[in-house]
């Protein structure tokens, strides 16, 4: 399959609070805030070292990592279809590489295709006020433009409701939709599961509003530090991954009702 050329952009609502670096290695994009740096002797550095040293041991079982030490807090999230070992390797790699590309920034975030990582000295439920965008360089034809966008809106509306309605372990949804005369559209939405349903829905709603500037593109990605939106005209995800349940204990089982 010939994959499209992608264009990437990092945009901050907080003007003057953005330091953009180009992607390194497998990062799609990374964000190194210029809101403040830490010295090598500062307690924050030790807090961040402590958080990231044991970070990969904090998996909630569904690809969400979250840890706090002193003033430092960090979170990472794997896409909902990513297998556990691939997820672990992605997060482990992100914890090393983000420190390399943002060597002394108090606040930073990095996005891979399979996972993303953020850390800060403050609550990150507002997502730092930043969005990273990627869009397919190919456009929808003029004749298909209206139907394409109507179909995308239907798919994203369905996925947004499903993702925000998830539980405290996972807020993820993926699916596809086909309209007559159009190629199948595949979409995915996900929030960090520490968000409330309202917070997740607000983040995804904001992402949906932001993609309107790219509504002629055959694919769009919106990466935020707390939620992700993506759609394509080709499949890019597998079936949602679920943990394998432990086998029941040996012995006979009896089922019944009690008054």
**pLDDT tens digits along 119-132:** 999 876 666 778 88
The pLDDT of residue 167 is above 80: yes
- 228 or 258, which is more confident: 228
In DSSP notation, 97-113 reads HHHHHSSSBSSEEEE-S
Q: Are residues 111 and 74 in the same domain?
A: yes
CA dist 75 → 54, 72, 184, 211 (Å): 12, 10, 33, 25
Give the span between the Cα atoms of 8 and 223, in whole angstroms. 11
Of residues 134, 139, 140, 97, the one with CA closest to residue 119: 97
Domain range for 74: 9-124
Where a domain ends, among 72, 96, 124? 124
pLDDT at site 133: 85
pLDDT digits (tens, 9 = 90+) for 98-121: 999 999 999 999 999 999 999 999
Q: Using CB atoms within 10 A of its CB, is residue 172 exposed (0-12), middle (13-18) or buried (19+)?
A: buried
Helix (H, G, I), strand (E, B) or coil at 223: strand
Please count the residues of the chain.
259
Q: What is the CATH number of the domain that holds 108?
A: 3.30.430.20
73 pLDDT higher than 70? yes
Q: Let me know whether 204 and 228 are in one domain.
A: yes
As given in the structure block, the two tokens for residue 100 are 């390399």
Q: How far is CA 50 from the centre of its chain?
A: 24
Residue appearing with tokens 């390194």: 24
Residues 23 and 47 in one domain: yes
Quick one: 30 and 114 in the same domain? yes
Q: What is the pTM of this model?
A: 0.84
Per residue, the 3-state secondary structure of 9-59, as one string, reads EEEECCCCCCCEECCCCCCCEEEECCCCECCCCCHHHHHHHHHHHCHHHHC
Residues 15 and 50 in one domain: yes
CA-based angle 73:79:83, to the nearest 5?
110
Smallest CA-to-CA distance from 187 within 132, 139, 233, 140 is with 233
Tell me: do 53 and 154 sit in the same domain.
no
Joined together, the tokens standing for residue 172 give 């993820």
- The predicted model gives 169-180 an average pLDDT of 94
User: pLDDT per residue over 212-235, tens digit each?
Assistant: 989 999 999 999 999 999 999 999
Shared domain check, 114 and 33? yes
Residues 207 and 113 grouped into a single domain? no
Q: What average pLDDT does the segment 55-77 reach?
A: 94
Mean local confidence (pLDDT), 70-74? 92
pLDDT single digits (tens) 136-148: 889 999 999 999 9
Kindly report, residue by residue over 22-37, the tens digit of the pLDDT: 444 567 888 888 878 8
Number of domains in the chain: 2
At residue 212, the 3 state secondary structure works out as helix
Q: Is residue 239 part of a domain?
A: no
Task: Give the model's pLDDT for residue 26.
Answer: 65
The answer on 139 and 203 residing in a single domain is yes
Pair 111, 144 in one domain: no
Write down the pLDDT at residue 54. 87
Give the whole-angstrom CA distance, residue 119 versus residue 74.
4
pLDDT at 8: 55
Same domain as 119, residue 136: no
């Amino acid at each position: 399959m010939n994959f499209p050329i992608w264009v990437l952009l990092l945009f901050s609502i907080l003007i003057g609070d953005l330091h953009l670096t180009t992607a390194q290695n497998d990062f799609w994009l990374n964000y190194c805030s210029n809101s403040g740096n830490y010295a090598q002797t500062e307690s924050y550095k030790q807090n961040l070292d402590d958080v990231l040293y044991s970070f990969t041991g904090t998996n909630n079982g569904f690809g969400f990592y979250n840890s706090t030490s002193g003033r430092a807090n960090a979170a990472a999230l794997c896409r909902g279809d990513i297998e556990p070992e691939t997820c672990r390797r992605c997060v482990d790699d992100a914890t090393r590489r983000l420190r390399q590309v943002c060597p002394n920034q108090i606040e930073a975030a990095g996005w891979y295709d399979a996972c993303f990582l953020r850390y800060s000295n403050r609550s990150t439920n507002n997502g730092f006020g930043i969005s990273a965008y990627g869009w397919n360089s190919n456009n929808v034809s003029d004749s298909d433009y209206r139907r394409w966008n109507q179909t995308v809106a239907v798919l994203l509306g369905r996925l947004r409701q499903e993702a925000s309605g998830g539980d405290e372990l996972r807020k993820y949804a993926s699916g596809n939709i086909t309209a007559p005369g159009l190629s199948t559209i595949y979409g995915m939405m996900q929030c960090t599961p520490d968000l409330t349903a309202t917070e997740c829905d607000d983040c995804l709603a904001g992402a949906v509003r932001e993609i309107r500037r790219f509504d002629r593109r055959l694919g769009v990605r919106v990466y935020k530090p707390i939620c992700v939106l993506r759609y394509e005209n080709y499949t890019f995800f597998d079936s949602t991954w679920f943990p394998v349940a432990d086998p029941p204990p040996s012995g006979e089982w009896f089922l019944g009702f009690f008054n």
